[in-house]
Amino acid sequence: MALHVFFCFAFAYLLSYLLRTGNAVMAPFLRADLGLSDSDLGLLSSAYYFAFACMQLPLGIWLDKYGPRRLVACLMLVAAAGSAVFAMSETLFGLWIGRALIGMGVSACLMAAFKGFRLWYPAAMQSRLAALMSVAGAVGALLATIPINFLIGQLGWRGVFWVISALVLLAALLVWIVLKAPEAANPPPEKPVQAQAARSTSSDGGYRQILRHPYFRRMILLALIPLGIYPALQTLWAAPWLITVVGLSIDQTANVLFMFNFCLMAVHLGLSWIGPKLKMRSDQKGWTVHRVVWMGLAFGIAMQALSVVFTQSWAWIFWVLLSGCLAISILIQVNIGMSFPASHVGRANSAFNFLIFTGSFMMQWGIGLMSDGFQAWGLSPADGLRAALASCVVLQLIVLALYLHSKAEPGIRE
């Protein structure tokens, strides 16, 4: 039963990540077919993040109230419909609607898994399971590189989305049928287990208690800026950068993105082993999540800065090295989930996810707007992208300094 729970959630999350990252490889084809500018590409791809972010706060309440099985199965139907709309659309507006429906439909995949794991697995397994879910996501990202590039050559990008729509329908069916047994054996509580949580839920959906937690507040800027920039780069801007700035071909870019996501998968596998050994709080002996987070952020900022400075054909290596930094959000997510009672896990994780995807929406579109703006001032397309990423590096340095200055710690408060 435990394996059924994991693999159902993992398959759904794999598809959600494939849909999230597929635009990176498809961007040149979409640009050629529809004549899209950088800001158009950013707006189109960010539709996913916009819809995803809008779903997170109600999603947290629904997860705690109705449980992960029903929610994931129903929302995946929306994602399947969105893939079909995307495949049929002939205009930027139609593609945007399809992309937004996809974001809405897959918005519960990871948060529902965290909720299910907290209900149906022991506490000692939580960080390992979270890392393994990220491995499934990385496999989806791998499929969105060379395999998707090959399928586009065979079926066209519209045909690829029809295939994905069918697979999403299959995932919804599996979640609905296979997870019925574990849900019946240990259903989610419909009412919070603590009276204080019940009062909070009746007044504001339970988010007041979450927003008041010092550790959650410490992570707000971190989620909006660095953790928002990483997905924006991975799921869209990596491909235009490698083609426009570094000068790679479309096939070479697909190969680099494959290596990028393979390294990401390897890092997540490593975290599945290291994660349980990390300490939550800095006052405990040994390596802490805090130390891993700030070191990972610093390394990611350094890789982005080097990408801005060096534009030779070998500079793609900085993007591959950057991949491991995407894993940081999982460590924080687990700590946040463990800082609240089980009755509030869905809301806590969804609130944090809301911040990440709001940041991803702003940064993915914002990078395109900045790039077009710098080009309007006379820079070349390559230098426009470099100036936009340099601006992002400065923002991240400020946020990292504020994060290091704060001392709030994770953990459930009495």
Q: Indicate the pTM of the whole model.
A: 0.73
**pLDDT for the residue numbered 193:** 40
How far is 255 from 149, CA to CA, in rounded Å? 10
Q: What is the pLDDT of residue 292?
A: 83
Radius of gyration of the chain (CA): 20
**What tokens does 16 get?**
């959600």
Q: Whole-angstrom Cα distance, residue 265 to residue 261? A: 6
Residue 31 makes CB contacts below 8 A (sequence gap 6+) with 41
- What pLDDT score was predicted for residue 201? 43
User: Cα–Cα distance between 386 and 389 in angstroms, integer?
Assistant: 5
Give all domains of the chain, ordered by start, each with its CATH number: 2-186+203-405 (1.20.1250.20)
Mean pLDDT by 10 residues, the chain (414 residues): 84 92 82 81 84 86 84 94 92 91 92 84 77 85 87 90 95 91 66 43 63 86 90 85 92 88 82 71 70 88 95 93 80 78 76 87 88 92 94 95 83 56
pLDDT confidence of residue 41: 82
* The pLDDT of residue 200: 42
